[in-house]
Amino acid sequence: MEVILKEDVVHLGQRGDVVKVADGYGRNYLLPRKLALQATLANKAVIEQMKSAAARRSATEKALAEALVAKLEPVVLEFTRKTGENGHLFGSVTSVDIAAALEAKGFEVDRRKIQLDEPLKSVGEASVAIKLHREVTAHLKVKVLAEAAEEVAVEAAAEVAVAEPVAEVAAAE
């Protein structure tokens, strides 16, 4: 079955491409989700209009993405997390955390556009790619800091202070 793609489909093609797909894939996935049109003579006549509109839309999206890259490049996100030995975090910094921090700074970035292979699980700096457009990628600097040692020492001292009277009561019995 031949279809005309209305949207970019990963591993298949770009908007406006005429591609040949299996009948079931076209009927059960592409057509119901409005990702494609069946390639009939009438629809093939509309391809040129779709391609020019898609090219204009892509150009405006690319321009907006490039403007956003210029604003995002100087931004540095800092996350403070509890750490264990050797700088490993209890938990991690994920794309959801990064998207929330960007939103707090006034940037609307979908978490799915943040290209984070694995969550950040150690203290240090990392460069995170954000794919804003198929041709435009921003690189954001993310710093993961350990929670202050003083806070951890205060918490540990509080736990010891609570544990000592309990030990004395147990010894008295």
Per cent of the chain over pLDDT 90 is: 32
> pLDDT tens digits, residue range 107-153?
888 888 999 888 888 888 999 999 988 888 999 999 999 886 545 44
Tokens 């009939």: give the residue: 40
Contact indicator for 42, 16 with CB cutoff of 8 Å: no
Which of 37, 53, 71 is the C-terminal boundary of a domain? Answer: 71
Q: Determine the structural domain holding residue 11 and report its residue range.
A: 2-71
Check residue 130 and report its DSSP letter: E
| The two three-digit tokens of residue 2, written as one number | 């031949």
80 plus 58 within the same structural domain: no
14 plus 65 within the same structural domain: yes
Domain count along the chain: 2
79 plus 101 within the same structural domain: yes
Q: For the whole model, what pTM was predicted?
A: 0.61
> pLDDT tens digits, residue range 4-37?
888 888 899 987 788 999 999 999 999 999 999 8
* CATH number, domain with residue 32: 3.40.5.10
Decide the pairing of beta strands 2-5 and 36-38.
antiparallel
Over residues 31-47, the mean pLDDT reads 86
16 plus 29 within the same structural domain: yes
Q: How far apart are CA 69 and CA 63, in angstroms?
A: 10
Q: How far apart are CA 166 and CA 35, in angstroms?
A: 66
